[in-house]
Amino acid sequence: MFSRSAKVNIELLKPQGIQVWTKYKPHHFGFGVELYVNPTLDELGKCDLCRNVTAPIDGKFLIQDDTIAVKLGDTIRYRTVKDKVSGTKWYPWKTIVVDNQFLNQAENICAFQCDPSGHRATVNFLEQYIRNMLDSCDLPEQPSDHLFFPLPNAPALVGDPKRFVRARLYSVDLLRPLVDRVESVFVLQEGVGCKMQSVLDKLKILELGRDQLGVVDYDEVLFIPGPSPNL
């Protein structure tokens, strides 16, 4: 079930549970939900799912409870809140009556946290990538967490280097969760560099954004011989 006004998705899980999520955006600092199952007309009663999150997971602000049981004919009443740069915004109350169509969606949805195969594949990739790096004699023994965006005459072209780096990362959907993990930036004559919070952040950006962003490993840049002073 998708709420257009707040751009929120609500999904039922099997055999039980409920998941509420919205797409992560860099200018959003947090997401929360207040949700009730079968509230009475007089009062809402005890909140079935009241929770806030501030850390995105795979490009989503995601809230999940595996203990909530919802059946055909139940009523779900909820509202959401988002913390933005401009302030905190509560969205209007919404009511869902669970019908067959809503229940059938749960049959076809692979719950975000119920199948770890996607996470396992990511871990395997990172482990293999690190092994390949450490086995290479062309790279430093301890790889840094720095990246580099080649751009000739960068000081004259880039007025705000941090905004430049964040905008480049944000242009790739899979890299948007890493926008806020940029620790610092620097400008050289040949381009713009940045320091990530971890080596794994750097490796993920290199793998997913090298072709689209033209980003390179700063460790490799450091080991590229410069021109001879006699030329």
In a domain, 130, yes or no: no
Q: Identify the CATH number of the domain in which residue 79 sits.
A: 2.60.40.2140
Token pair 């971890």 is found at 198
Q: Do 107 and 175 reside in the same domain of the chain?
A: no
- Domain assignment of residue 136, yes or no: no
Instruction: Indicate whether 31 belongs to any domain.
Output: yes
Residue 32 lies in a domain: yes
Residue 88 sits in the same domain as residue 147: no
* Average of per-residue pLDDT across 200-213: 83
Range of the domain at 216: 143-221
Q: How far apart are CA 119 and CA 101, in angstroms?
A: 29
Task: Look at the chain and report how many structural domains it folds into.
Answer: 2
Q: Are residues 97 and 150 in the same domain?
A: no
Backbone angles phi, psi at 111, to 5 degrees: -60, 145
Mind listing the pLDDT tens digit for each residue in 94-152? 998 988 777 766 555 444 444 555 566 666 666 666 666 655 545 445 678 999 999 99
What is the torsion angle, in degrees rounded to the nearest 10, for the CA atoms of residue 71, residue 75, residue 79 and residue 80?
10
User: What letter does residue 194 receive in the DSSP assignment?
Assistant: E
pLDDT, tens digit, 9 for 90 and up, residues 15-35: 889 999 998 887 888 999 999
Kindly state whether residue 74 falls inside one of the protein's structural domains. yes
